[in-house]
Amino acid sequence: MKSNAAHERSNMLDFSAEEAMQTLTESVLRAYRDLPAPVIVGIYTGGAWVAERLRRTLGVAAPISTLDIGFYRDDLALSGFKGVGSSSLNDSIDGRSVLLVDDVLHSGRTIRAALGALFDYGRPAHVRLACLLVREGRELPIQADYFGREVRLDPGQRLKLRGPEPLALEIL
Amino acid sequence: MRSLQLHSDGRLKHFLSTEGLPRAVLEEILNTADAFMETSGRAIKSVPLLRGRTIAMLFFEGSTRTRSTFELAAKRLSADVLTLDVGLSSTSKGETLLDTLRNLEAMHCDMFVVRHADSGAAQFFASHAREGVAVLNAGDGRHAHPTQAMLDVYTIRRHKGPDFGRLRVVIVGDVLHSRVARSQIHALNILHVGELRVVAPATLLPEAVQALGVTVFDDLDEALVDADVVIGLRLQKERMRGAFLPSEGEYFRRYGLTTERLALAKPDCIVMHPGPMNRGVEIASDLADGPRSVILEQVGNGIAVRMAVMALCLGRPRASL
Protein backbone atom coordinates (compact mmCIF):
# COMPACT_ATOMS: atom_id res chain seq x y z
CA MET A 1 0.00 0.00 0.00
CA LYS A 2 1.59 3.23 -1.16
CA SER A 3 1.11 6.49 0.67
CA ASN A 4 -1.05 9.14 -0.97
CA ALA A 5 1.96 11.24 -1.77
CA ALA A 6 3.83 8.37 -3.42
CA HIS A 7 0.72 7.41 -5.34
CA GLU A 8 0.32 10.92 -6.67
CA ARG A 9 3.94 11.11 -7.71
CA SER A 10 3.62 7.86 -9.63
CA ASN A 11 0.83 9.58 -11.59
CA MET A 12 3.11 12.40 -12.69
CA LEU A 13 2.20 15.13 -10.20
CA ASP A 14 5.28 16.51 -8.49
CA PHE A 15 3.37 17.74 -5.43
CA SER A 16 0.75 16.45 -3.03
CA ALA A 17 -2.75 17.83 -2.47
CA GLU A 18 -1.70 18.91 1.03
CA GLU A 19 1.24 20.86 -0.38
CA ALA A 20 -1.08 22.65 -2.81
CA MET A 21 -3.48 23.32 0.08
CA GLN A 22 -0.65 24.87 2.05
CA THR A 23 0.22 27.29 -0.77
CA LEU A 24 -3.43 28.21 -1.34
CA THR A 25 -3.98 28.81 2.37
CA GLU A 26 -0.99 31.13 2.59
CA SER A 27 -2.08 33.29 -0.33
CA VAL A 28 -5.68 33.51 0.94
CA LEU A 29 -4.45 34.43 4.42
CA ARG A 30 -2.25 37.19 2.97
CA ALA A 31 -5.12 38.59 0.91
CA TYR A 32 -7.64 38.69 3.76
CA ARG A 33 -5.25 39.80 6.51
CA ASP A 34 -6.72 43.29 6.66
CA LEU A 35 -10.17 42.58 5.25
CA PRO A 36 -13.43 41.56 6.91
CA ALA A 37 -14.11 37.84 6.79
CA PRO A 38 -15.75 36.77 3.54
CA VAL A 39 -18.76 34.49 3.12
CA ILE A 40 -17.04 31.26 2.10
CA VAL A 41 -18.91 29.28 -0.54
CA GLY A 42 -17.56 25.90 -1.60
CA ILE A 43 -18.70 24.17 -4.78
CA TYR A 44 -20.03 20.72 -3.99
CA THR A 45 -18.21 18.38 -3.33
CA GLY A 46 -14.44 18.91 -3.67
CA GLY A 47 -14.67 22.68 -3.46
CA ALA A 48 -16.56 22.36 -0.17
CA TRP A 49 -13.69 20.35 1.36
CA VAL A 50 -11.15 22.99 0.33
CA ALA A 51 -13.51 25.73 1.55
CA GLU A 52 -13.79 24.10 4.98
CA ARG A 53 -9.98 24.07 5.31
CA LEU A 54 -9.81 27.75 4.34
CA ARG A 55 -12.55 28.58 6.85
CA ARG A 56 -10.56 27.06 9.69
CA THR A 57 -7.34 28.77 8.69
CA LEU A 58 -9.01 32.16 8.27
CA GLY A 59 -10.72 31.66 11.63
CA VAL A 60 -14.17 32.35 10.20
CA ALA A 61 -16.76 31.30 12.77
CA ALA A 62 -19.72 30.96 10.41
CA PRO A 63 -19.98 27.55 8.76
CA ILE A 64 -19.17 27.43 5.06
CA SER A 65 -21.96 27.53 2.50
CA THR A 66 -22.13 24.94 -0.24
CA LEU A 67 -23.34 25.32 -3.77
CA ASP A 68 -24.40 22.49 -6.05
CA ILE A 69 -24.45 23.71 -9.63
CA GLY A 70 -26.36 20.74 -11.07
CA PHE A 71 -29.33 22.93 -12.02
CA TYR A 72 -27.07 25.50 -13.70
CA ARG A 73 -24.88 23.38 -15.95
CA ASP A 74 -24.57 24.29 -19.62
CA ASP A 75 -23.99 20.70 -20.77
CA LEU A 76 -27.39 19.16 -19.95
CA ALA A 77 -27.86 18.17 -23.59
CA LEU A 78 -24.38 16.61 -23.69
CA SER A 79 -24.08 14.72 -20.46
CA GLY A 80 -27.56 14.71 -18.93
CA PHE A 81 -28.90 15.65 -15.53
CA LYS A 82 -26.82 13.84 -12.97
CA GLY A 83 -28.86 14.74 -9.94
CA VAL A 84 -27.70 17.13 -7.29
CA GLY A 85 -26.70 17.39 -3.69
CA SER A 86 -28.27 20.20 -1.76
CA SER A 87 -27.03 23.74 -1.75
CA SER A 88 -27.04 25.61 1.53
CA LEU A 89 -26.29 29.29 1.72
CA ASN A 90 -26.16 30.04 5.39
CA ASP A 91 -25.72 33.80 5.21
CA SER A 92 -27.28 36.41 3.05
CA ILE A 93 -24.71 37.33 0.40
CA ASP A 94 -26.29 40.69 -0.43
CA GLY A 95 -23.57 43.33 -0.30
CA ARG A 96 -21.07 40.87 1.19
CA SER A 97 -17.68 39.75 0.03
CA VAL A 98 -17.84 36.17 -1.24
CA LEU A 99 -14.90 33.79 -1.50
CA LEU A 100 -15.94 31.14 -4.02
CA VAL A 101 -13.92 27.94 -3.67
CA ASP A 102 -13.44 25.00 -6.04
CA ASP A 103 -10.99 22.14 -6.28
CA VAL A 104 -9.90 22.34 -9.93
CA LEU A 105 -10.33 25.24 -12.35
CA HIS A 106 -10.21 23.87 -15.89
CA SER A 107 -12.62 24.99 -18.63
CA GLY A 108 -14.20 27.64 -16.39
CA ARG A 109 -17.71 26.34 -17.09
CA THR A 110 -18.30 25.17 -13.53
CA ILE A 111 -17.43 28.64 -12.23
CA ARG A 112 -19.68 30.30 -14.80
CA ALA A 113 -22.55 28.08 -13.60
CA ALA A 114 -21.66 28.74 -9.96
CA LEU A 115 -21.76 32.51 -10.52
CA GLY A 116 -25.20 32.12 -12.08
CA ALA A 117 -26.40 30.12 -9.09
CA LEU A 118 -24.81 32.54 -6.63
CA PHE A 119 -26.60 35.54 -8.11
CA ASP A 120 -29.94 33.77 -7.70
CA TYR A 121 -29.28 33.93 -3.95
CA GLY A 122 -28.42 37.62 -3.84
CA ARG A 123 -26.11 40.38 -5.06
CA PRO A 124 -22.66 40.13 -3.50
CA ALA A 125 -20.37 43.18 -3.32
CA HIS A 126 -17.66 41.15 -5.01
CA VAL A 127 -16.72 37.55 -5.62
CA ARG A 128 -13.19 36.20 -5.48
CA LEU A 129 -12.19 32.77 -6.68
CA ALA A 130 -9.90 30.36 -4.85
CA CYS A 131 -8.97 27.01 -6.44
CA LEU A 132 -6.72 24.29 -5.13
CA LEU A 133 -5.45 23.63 -8.67
CA VAL A 134 -5.63 25.50 -11.93
CA ARG A 135 -5.33 23.42 -15.04
CA GLU A 136 -4.57 24.64 -18.56
CA GLY A 137 -7.58 24.52 -20.90
CA ARG A 138 -9.76 27.56 -20.19
CA GLU A 139 -12.78 27.93 -22.48
CA LEU A 140 -14.10 31.08 -20.80
CA PRO A 141 -12.48 34.30 -19.55
CA ILE A 142 -12.40 33.17 -15.91
CA GLN A 143 -9.26 33.08 -13.73
CA ALA A 144 -8.58 32.21 -10.11
CA ASP A 145 -7.58 34.99 -7.70
CA TYR A 146 -5.80 32.45 -5.47
CA PHE A 147 -4.59 28.94 -6.22
CA GLY A 148 -2.37 26.19 -4.88
CA ARG A 149 -0.62 24.79 -7.95
CA GLU A 150 -0.78 24.98 -11.73
CA VAL A 151 -0.93 21.72 -13.69
CA ARG A 152 -0.74 20.72 -17.32
CA LEU A 153 -2.26 17.39 -18.34
CA ASP A 154 -3.19 15.57 -21.54
CA PRO A 155 -6.71 16.46 -22.75
CA GLY A 156 -8.02 12.96 -21.99
CA GLN A 157 -6.83 12.96 -18.39
CA ARG A 158 -9.03 13.88 -15.43
CA LEU A 159 -7.98 15.20 -12.06
CA LYS A 160 -9.91 13.91 -9.09
CA LEU A 161 -9.67 15.25 -5.55
CA ARG A 162 -10.37 12.78 -2.77
CA GLY A 163 -11.21 13.91 0.73
CA PRO A 164 -12.15 15.47 2.98
CA GLU A 165 -9.33 14.36 5.33
CA PRO A 166 -6.64 14.08 4.11
CA LEU A 167 -6.93 15.61 0.69
CA ALA A 168 -5.42 13.51 -2.08
CA LEU A 169 -5.16 13.90 -5.83
CA GLU A 170 -5.63 11.26 -8.45
CA ILE A 171 -5.23 11.36 -12.23
CA LEU A 172 -7.85 9.29 -14.04
CA MET B 1 -45.30 -0.76 -17.63
CA ARG B 2 -41.79 -0.74 -16.23
CA SER B 3 -40.08 -1.09 -19.63
CA LEU B 4 -42.10 1.76 -21.09
CA GLN B 5 -41.18 4.04 -18.18
CA LEU B 6 -37.44 3.41 -18.08
CA HIS B 7 -34.54 3.85 -20.48
CA SER B 8 -32.33 0.80 -21.05
CA ASP B 9 -29.87 2.22 -18.48
CA GLY B 10 -32.63 2.20 -15.84
CA ARG B 11 -33.25 5.94 -15.75
CA LEU B 12 -36.69 7.48 -15.89
CA LYS B 13 -38.11 8.06 -19.40
CA HIS B 14 -41.83 8.59 -18.76
CA PHE B 15 -43.64 8.73 -15.43
CA LEU B 16 -46.93 6.92 -15.84
CA SER B 17 -47.33 4.85 -12.69
CA THR B 18 -45.46 4.05 -9.50
CA GLU B 19 -46.27 0.38 -10.04
CA GLY B 20 -43.29 -1.78 -10.85
CA LEU B 21 -40.65 0.93 -10.60
CA PRO B 22 -37.40 0.09 -8.79
CA ARG B 23 -36.94 1.52 -5.32
CA ALA B 24 -33.82 3.39 -6.49
CA VAL B 25 -35.86 5.37 -9.04
CA LEU B 26 -38.40 6.44 -6.41
CA GLU B 27 -35.61 7.43 -4.03
CA GLU B 28 -33.88 9.44 -6.75
CA ILE B 29 -37.12 11.39 -7.25
CA LEU B 30 -37.35 12.08 -3.51
CA ASN B 31 -33.70 13.13 -3.23
CA THR B 32 -33.94 15.44 -6.23
CA ALA B 33 -37.10 16.97 -4.73
CA ASP B 34 -35.05 17.79 -1.62
CA ALA B 35 -32.72 19.94 -3.72
CA PHE B 36 -35.70 21.73 -5.30
CA MET B 37 -37.19 22.44 -1.86
CA GLU B 38 -34.01 24.39 -1.17
CA THR B 39 -34.19 26.46 -4.38
CA SER B 40 -37.93 27.07 -3.80
CA GLY B 41 -37.04 28.83 -0.54
CA ARG B 42 -34.95 31.50 -2.26
CA ALA B 43 -36.07 34.93 -3.38
CA ILE B 44 -35.36 33.79 -6.95
CA LYS B 45 -37.13 30.46 -7.13
CA SER B 46 -36.36 29.35 -10.66
CA VAL B 47 -33.31 27.51 -11.98
CA PRO B 48 -32.23 27.43 -15.64
CA LEU B 49 -32.17 23.63 -15.96
CA LEU B 50 -34.85 23.25 -18.67
CA ARG B 51 -34.37 26.57 -20.42
CA GLY B 52 -35.51 26.31 -24.03
CA ARG B 53 -37.52 23.13 -23.48
CA THR B 54 -41.28 23.15 -24.03
CA ILE B 55 -43.73 21.38 -21.76
CA ALA B 56 -47.35 21.01 -22.85
CA MET B 57 -50.10 20.55 -20.27
CA LEU B 58 -52.90 18.43 -21.67
CA PHE B 59 -55.75 18.42 -19.22
CA PHE B 60 -58.62 16.50 -20.77
CA GLU B 61 -60.16 16.44 -17.29
CA GLY B 62 -60.58 19.42 -15.01
CA SER B 63 -58.14 20.20 -12.20
CA THR B 64 -56.96 23.32 -10.46
CA ARG B 65 -54.35 22.29 -7.94
CA THR B 66 -52.62 19.62 -9.99
CA ARG B 67 -52.49 21.75 -13.10
CA SER B 68 -51.23 24.85 -11.35
CA THR B 69 -48.50 22.98 -9.47
CA PHE B 70 -47.36 21.26 -12.69
CA GLU B 71 -47.28 24.64 -14.43
CA LEU B 72 -45.38 26.25 -11.60
CA ALA B 73 -42.93 23.33 -11.51
CA ALA B 74 -42.23 23.71 -15.23
CA LYS B 75 -41.82 27.46 -14.90
CA ARG B 76 -39.43 27.14 -11.96
CA LEU B 77 -37.28 24.95 -14.21
CA SER B 78 -37.34 27.76 -16.83
CA ALA B 79 -39.20 25.62 -19.38
CA ASP B 80 -41.71 27.17 -21.76
CA VAL B 81 -45.19 26.09 -20.80
CA LEU B 82 -48.11 25.52 -23.11
CA THR B 83 -51.42 24.91 -21.40
CA LEU B 84 -54.16 23.47 -23.54
CA ASP B 85 -57.67 23.35 -22.30
CA VAL B 86 -58.28 20.31 -24.44
CA GLY B 87 -61.71 19.68 -23.05
CA LEU B 88 -62.86 22.80 -24.90
CA SER B 89 -60.82 22.51 -28.07
CA SER B 90 -60.01 19.96 -30.73
CA THR B 91 -61.17 16.82 -29.00
CA SER B 92 -64.65 18.18 -28.70
CA LYS B 93 -64.46 18.64 -32.48
CA GLY B 94 -63.63 14.97 -32.87
CA GLU B 95 -59.82 15.00 -33.12
CA THR B 96 -58.31 11.73 -31.90
CA LEU B 97 -55.73 11.54 -29.14
CA LEU B 98 -53.13 10.50 -31.68
CA ASP B 99 -53.84 13.56 -33.84
CA THR B 100 -53.53 15.81 -30.79
CA LEU B 101 -50.18 14.18 -29.98
CA ARG B 102 -48.82 14.51 -33.54
CA ASN B 103 -49.83 18.15 -33.75
CA LEU B 104 -48.08 19.00 -30.51
CA GLU B 105 -45.00 17.07 -31.55
CA ALA B 106 -44.97 19.16 -34.72
CA MET B 107 -44.67 22.19 -32.40
CA HIS B 108 -41.55 20.57 -30.90
CA CYS B 109 -42.86 19.98 -27.42
CA ASP B 110 -40.41 18.01 -25.27
CA MET B 111 -42.83 16.82 -22.63
CA PHE B 112 -46.54 16.19 -22.24
CA VAL B 113 -48.28 16.29 -18.91
CA VAL B 114 -51.50 14.38 -19.45
CA ARG B 115 -54.64 14.12 -17.38
CA HIS B 116 -57.53 12.15 -18.74
CA ALA B 117 -60.69 10.47 -17.49
CA ASP B 118 -59.76 7.22 -19.23
CA SER B 119 -57.36 4.77 -17.61
CA GLY B 120 -54.34 4.23 -19.85
CA ALA B 121 -54.47 7.59 -21.65
CA ALA B 122 -50.98 8.66 -20.55
CA GLN B 123 -49.64 5.25 -21.44
CA PHE B 124 -51.17 5.60 -24.90
CA PHE B 125 -49.34 8.91 -25.36
CA ALA B 126 -46.07 7.44 -24.11
CA SER B 127 -46.22 4.44 -26.39
CA HIS B 128 -46.85 6.64 -29.45
CA ALA B 129 -44.59 9.57 -28.59
CA ARG B 130 -41.48 9.97 -30.70
CA GLU B 131 -38.05 9.35 -29.20
CA GLY B 132 -36.96 12.06 -26.83
CA VAL B 133 -40.46 13.16 -25.86
CA ALA B 134 -41.42 12.42 -22.27
CA VAL B 135 -44.91 11.85 -20.90
CA LEU B 136 -46.01 12.46 -17.32
CA ASN B 137 -49.28 11.06 -16.05
CA ALA B 138 -51.21 13.69 -14.11
CA GLY B 139 -54.05 11.24 -13.41
CA ASP B 140 -55.75 8.73 -15.70
CA GLY B 141 -59.18 7.37 -14.85
CA ARG B 142 -59.06 5.05 -11.86
CA HIS B 143 -55.61 3.85 -12.82
CA ALA B 144 -52.80 6.03 -11.46
CA HIS B 145 -51.74 9.47 -10.25
CA PRO B 146 -48.06 8.87 -9.65
CA THR B 147 -46.85 12.42 -8.91
CA GLN B 148 -49.53 12.77 -6.23
CA ALA B 149 -48.35 9.50 -4.67
CA MET B 150 -44.73 10.67 -4.76
CA LEU B 151 -45.54 14.01 -3.13
CA ASP B 152 -47.38 12.06 -0.44
CA VAL B 153 -44.46 9.74 0.28
CA TYR B 154 -42.16 12.77 0.10
CA THR B 155 -44.27 14.52 2.74
CA ILE B 156 -44.13 11.38 4.90
CA ARG B 157 -40.35 11.19 4.50
CA ARG B 158 -39.89 14.81 5.52
CA HIS B 159 -41.80 14.18 8.74
CA LYS B 160 -40.83 10.62 9.56
CA GLY B 161 -37.38 10.15 8.02
CA PRO B 162 -36.20 7.84 5.25
CA ASP B 163 -36.88 4.51 7.00
CA PHE B 164 -40.39 3.57 5.88
CA GLY B 165 -39.95 0.13 7.42
CA ARG B 166 -40.88 1.36 10.89
CA LEU B 167 -44.02 3.18 9.75
CA ARG B 168 -47.66 2.18 9.98
CA VAL B 169 -49.68 4.01 7.33
CA VAL B 170 -53.48 4.05 7.16
CA ILE B 171 -55.45 4.94 4.02
CA VAL B 172 -59.13 5.69 4.65
CA GLY B 173 -61.92 6.03 2.13
CA ASP B 174 -62.94 5.37 -1.43
CA VAL B 175 -60.06 3.16 -2.58
CA LEU B 176 -62.18 1.65 -5.35
CA HIS B 177 -62.40 4.83 -7.40
CA SER B 178 -59.10 6.34 -6.27
CA ARG B 179 -56.15 6.46 -8.63
CA VAL B 180 -54.31 8.30 -5.86
CA ALA B 181 -54.72 5.37 -3.45
CA ARG B 182 -53.55 2.84 -6.03
CA SER B 183 -50.40 4.84 -6.74
CA GLN B 184 -49.78 5.41 -3.03
CA ILE B 185 -50.10 1.72 -2.25
CA HIS B 186 -47.56 0.77 -4.92
CA ALA B 187 -45.12 3.52 -3.92
CA LEU B 188 -45.29 2.74 -0.20
CA ASN B 189 -44.79 -0.97 -0.79
CA ILE B 190 -41.82 -0.34 -3.10
CA LEU B 191 -40.31 1.76 -0.30
CA HIS B 192 -40.90 -1.19 2.08
CA VAL B 193 -43.42 0.47 4.38
CA GLY B 194 -43.80 -1.38 7.69
CA GLU B 195 -47.56 -1.85 7.54
CA LEU B 196 -50.16 -0.47 5.17
CA ARG B 197 -53.75 -0.50 6.36
CA VAL B 198 -56.76 0.27 4.21
CA VAL B 199 -60.14 1.18 5.69
CA ALA B 200 -63.33 1.48 3.65
CA PRO B 201 -66.83 0.11 3.34
CA ALA B 202 -66.74 -3.13 1.36
CA THR B 203 -68.56 -1.42 -1.53
CA LEU B 204 -65.66 1.03 -1.93
CA LEU B 205 -62.85 -1.54 -2.00
CA PRO B 206 -61.53 -3.07 -5.20
CA GLU B 207 -61.79 -6.83 -5.52
CA ALA B 208 -58.76 -8.70 -4.21
CA VAL B 209 -57.37 -5.49 -2.69
CA GLN B 210 -55.20 -7.58 -0.34
CA ALA B 211 -53.19 -8.68 -3.36
CA LEU B 212 -51.85 -5.09 -3.56
CA GLY B 213 -50.06 -5.65 -0.26
CA VAL B 214 -52.41 -4.06 2.26
CA THR B 215 -54.28 -5.14 5.38
CA VAL B 216 -57.99 -4.42 5.12
CA PHE B 217 -60.00 -3.03 8.05
CA ASP B 218 -63.71 -2.33 8.20
CA ASP B 219 -63.50 -0.49 11.52
CA LEU B 220 -61.67 2.86 11.42
CA ASP B 221 -60.94 2.92 15.16
CA GLU B 222 -59.17 -0.43 14.99
CA ALA B 223 -57.14 0.66 11.99
CA LEU B 224 -56.00 3.91 13.63
CA VAL B 225 -54.33 2.22 16.61
CA ASP B 226 -50.64 3.22 16.71
CA ALA B 227 -50.73 4.77 13.24
CA ASP B 228 -47.84 7.05 12.18
CA VAL B 229 -49.57 8.46 9.11
CA VAL B 230 -53.27 8.70 8.20
CA ILE B 231 -54.31 9.54 4.66
CA GLY B 232 -57.93 10.47 3.99
CA LEU B 233 -59.24 10.05 0.45
CA ARG B 234 -61.78 12.29 -1.20
CA LEU B 235 -65.25 10.82 -1.24
CA GLN B 236 -66.33 11.39 -4.79
CA LYS B 237 -69.82 12.70 -4.31
CA GLU B 238 -70.93 11.49 -7.69
CA ARG B 239 -70.57 7.99 -6.23
CA MET B 240 -73.35 8.74 -3.78
CA ARG B 241 -75.81 8.42 -6.60
CA GLY B 242 -74.91 4.76 -7.03
CA ALA B 243 -75.56 2.13 -4.42
CA PHE B 244 -72.12 2.54 -2.88
CA LEU B 245 -73.10 4.45 0.26
CA PRO B 246 -76.08 5.04 2.52
CA SER B 247 -75.59 8.81 3.13
CA GLU B 248 -72.87 11.39 3.78
CA GLY B 249 -73.83 11.58 7.45
CA GLU B 250 -73.61 7.86 7.88
CA TYR B 251 -70.27 7.78 6.04
CA PHE B 252 -68.81 10.48 8.30
CA ARG B 253 -70.04 8.67 11.41
CA ARG B 254 -68.24 5.45 10.42
CA TYR B 255 -65.29 6.57 8.30
CA GLY B 256 -64.84 10.29 8.95
CA LEU B 257 -61.49 11.38 10.40
CA THR B 258 -61.88 13.41 13.59
CA THR B 259 -59.59 14.76 16.29
CA GLU B 260 -61.17 12.38 18.85
CA ARG B 261 -60.49 9.36 16.68
CA LEU B 262 -56.89 10.43 16.04
CA ALA B 263 -56.26 9.96 19.78
CA LEU B 264 -55.95 6.26 18.95
CA ALA B 265 -52.99 6.93 16.67
CA LYS B 266 -49.45 7.74 17.79
CA PRO B 267 -49.13 11.20 19.37
CA ASP B 268 -46.99 12.42 16.46
CA CYS B 269 -49.24 10.94 13.78
CA ILE B 270 -49.65 13.20 10.74
CA VAL B 271 -52.87 13.62 8.77
CA MET B 272 -52.83 13.90 4.99
CA HIS B 273 -55.38 14.39 2.22
CA PRO B 274 -54.79 14.73 -1.54
CA GLY B 275 -57.55 17.34 -1.86
CA PRO B 276 -60.00 18.65 -2.65
CA MET B 277 -61.49 17.89 0.77
CA ASN B 278 -65.13 17.36 1.60
CA ARG B 279 -65.15 18.85 5.09
CA GLY B 280 -67.54 17.03 7.37
CA VAL B 281 -67.70 14.03 5.04
CA GLU B 282 -64.30 12.32 5.07
CA ILE B 283 -62.54 14.70 7.47
CA ALA B 284 -63.62 17.08 10.24
CA SER B 285 -62.68 20.72 9.73
CA ASP B 286 -60.84 21.12 13.04
CA LEU B 287 -58.61 18.15 12.19
CA ALA B 288 -57.96 19.35 8.64
CA ASP B 289 -56.89 22.77 9.98
CA GLY B 290 -55.23 21.48 13.15
CA PRO B 291 -51.59 20.97 14.13
CA ARG B 292 -51.38 17.37 12.92
CA SER B 293 -52.57 18.23 9.44
CA VAL B 294 -49.89 18.51 6.75
CA ILE B 295 -52.43 18.98 3.98
CA LEU B 296 -51.26 22.42 2.83
CA GLU B 297 -47.63 21.34 3.08
CA GLN B 298 -48.47 18.55 0.61
CA VAL B 299 -49.37 21.18 -1.99
CA GLY B 300 -46.00 22.94 -1.67
CA ASN B 301 -44.13 19.65 -1.68
CA GLY B 302 -46.00 18.79 -4.87
CA ILE B 303 -44.15 21.53 -6.74
CA ALA B 304 -40.71 20.22 -5.71
CA VAL B 305 -41.65 16.62 -6.50
CA ARG B 306 -43.03 17.56 -9.93
CA MET B 307 -39.88 19.59 -10.64
CA ALA B 308 -37.85 16.49 -9.75
CA VAL B 309 -39.79 14.22 -12.09
CA MET B 310 -39.56 16.75 -14.93
CA ALA B 311 -35.83 17.24 -14.39
CA LEU B 312 -35.17 13.50 -14.32
CA CYS B 313 -37.28 12.74 -17.42
CA LEU B 314 -36.02 15.65 -19.53
CA GLY B 315 -32.48 15.92 -18.23
CA ARG B 316 -31.26 13.33 -20.69
CA PRO B 317 -28.25 13.74 -22.90
CA ARG B 318 -29.53 14.39 -26.43
CA ALA B 319 -26.67 12.35 -27.88
CA SER B 320 -28.00 9.15 -26.32
CA LEU B 321 -31.50 9.53 -27.69
Q: What is the pLDDT of residue B62?
A: 84
- The domain that holds B20 is classified in CATH as 3.40.50.1370
Q: Are residues B84 and B164 in the same domain?
A: no
Q: Is B39 on the interface with A (CB under 8 A)?
A: yes
Q: Mean pLDDT, to the nearest integer, of B12-26?
A: 96
The beta-strand segments (E) located in chain B are 54-59, 80-84, 111-116, 134-140, 168-172, 195-199, 215-217, 229-232, 270-272
In chain B, how many domains are there?
A: 2
Tell me how far apart the alpha carbons of residues A20 and B154 are, in angstroms, rounded to a whole number: 42
- Structural domain that includes position B67: 2-144+300-320
Classify the C-alpha dihedral A85-A91-A96-A98 as positive or negative: negative
Write the DSSP assignment of B277-313 as a string of letters.
--BTTTB-HHHHTSTTB-HHHHHHHHHHHHHHHHHHH
Residues near A155 by beta carbon (within 8 Å), at least 6 away in sequence: A137
Confidence category of residue B159, pLDDT binned at 50, 70, 90: very high
- Minimal CA separation from A116 to chain B, in Å: 9
Task: Find chain A residues with C-beta within 8 A of B34's C-beta.
Answer: 86
pLDDT for the residue A23: 97
Average pLDDT of chain B to the nearest whole number: 91
Pick the CATH number of A4-171 from 3.40.50.2020, 3.30.200.20, 3.40.50.150, 3.30.360.10: 3.40.50.2020
ipTM of model over 0.90: no
Rounded alpha-carbon distances, angstroms, from residue B181 to A160, B22, B176, B231, B289: 46, 19, 9, 9, 22
How large a percentage of chain B has pLDDT more than 90? 76
The answer to whether B289 contacts chain A (CB < 8 Å) is no
Check if A87 contacts B (Cβ < 8 Å): yes
| Mean pLDDT computed over A1-20 | 66
Task: Return the pLDDT at B90.
Answer: 55
Q: Report the pLDDT averaged over residues B125-130.
A: 94
pLDDT tens, residue by residue, A15-74: 999 999 999 999 999 999 988 889 999 999 999 999 999 999 999 999 999 999 988 887
Predicted confidence (pLDDT) at residue A2 exceeds the cutoff of 50: no
Look at A61-75, A99-113, B146-160, B271-285 and tell me which has the smallest mean pLDDT. Answer: A61-75
Are residues B214 and B125 part of one domain?
Answer: no
Q: Are residues B46 and B111 in the same domain?
A: yes
**pLDDT value of position B121:** 93
Tell me: pLDDT of B44 over 70.
Answer: yes
Based on the domain organization, do B308 and B291 belong to the same domain? no
The answer to whether residues B121 and B245 belong to one domain is no
E strands in B157-267: 168-172, 195-199, 215-217, 229-232
Q: What's the mean per-residue pLDDT of chain A?
A: 88
- Hey, how many other C-beta atoms are within 10 angstroms of the C-beta on B87? 13
Residues B98 and B188 in one domain: no
d(CA A24, CA A22): 6
Chain A nearest C-alpha distance from B317 (Å): 4
Residue A1's pLDDT band, with cuts at 50, 70 and 90, is: very low
Given CB atoms, is A84 within the 8 Å cutoff of chain B? yes
| CB pair distance less than 8 Å for A80 and B38 | no
pLDDT at B240: 63
B198 contacts: CB under 8 Å, gap ≥ 6: B170, B171, B172, B175, B181, B185, B205, B209, B214, B215, B216, B217
Q: What is the DSSP string of A14-59?
A: SS-HHHHHHHHHHHHHHHHTTSPPPEEEEETTHHHHHHHHHHHHHT
Contact criterion met (CB < 8 Å) for A71 and B319: no
The reply to whether B21 touches chain A by the CB within 8 Å rule is no
Domains of chain A, by residue range, sit at: 4-171
